[in-house]
Amino acid sequence: MAELSTIARPYAEALFAAVRDDSQGLESWSALLSEMAQVAGLHDVREALNDPRLNNGQRLELFTGLVKSQVTEKARNFLQLLVDNQRILLLPQIAEQFDLLKHQLEGTAQAQIISAFPMAEAQVAELTAGLEKKFGLKLKPTVTVDADLIGGIRVIVGDQVLDTSVQARLASMRDTLTA
């Protein structure tokens, strides 16, 4: 079976192409998709949308009723397409792919910084500036603390990982010694 992200990619690309120049703006579309993805990710919603007693019109009305934000005509048409193709539950993956396309257009990326100890704002800013030079992108950092790293940091940008943690170095030494 194909990866869910592979199935979701064409829907995200089609929506991105359709709304790229929309007056509503990519940021608002991203926020709406994120909200719809959260709704689609709820267990009870998934069960309700898979109920064979509902027709596609009822599924669409049920889903749009659960979304707190106003669903525009364009968004409703997109949801209708997803319901008709039985892809409404792929909204979390579609939202993720849409955000990747948005970041690519803006020349930005998410940077997940995992540190062994809490970092000050100045440290995060300095690290982010260095990483932006390395990757050639404007980074939006998200910092978390993981004491299991023992020391150092791990940075994830897209599919690239920079790991300077003590944990990674110990694992490398262990692998070298057992080889």
Domains and CATH numbers, the chain: 1-105 (1.10.520.20), 107-176 (3.40.30)
Q: In degrees rounded to 5, what are phi and psi of residue 175?
A: -65, -40
Is the Cα torsion angle 75, 77, 80, 85 positive or negative in sign?
negative
Tell me the per-residue pLDDT of 67-122, one tens digit each, with 9 for 90 and over.
999 999 999 999 999 999 999 999 999 999 999 899 989 899 999 999 999 999 99
Closest by CA position to 4, among listed 117, 12, 138: 12
> Beta strands 138-145 and 160-163: pairing type?
unpaired
| C-alpha triplet 54, 55, 56: angle, nearest 5° | 120
Inform me whether the pLDDT recorded for 1 exceeds 60: no
Confidence of residue 25 (pLDDT cuts 50, 70, 90): confident
Q: How far apart are CA 60 and CA 98, in angstroms?
A: 21
User: Does the model's pTM come out above 0.95?
Assistant: no
List the strands of the sheet with 153-157, edge to edge: 138-145, 108-115, 153-157, 160-163
Query: What is the rounded average pLDDT of the residues 10-36?
Result: 92
Q: How far apart are CA 47 and CA 50, in angstroms?
A: 5
Inform me whether the pLDDT recorded for 23 exceeds 80: no
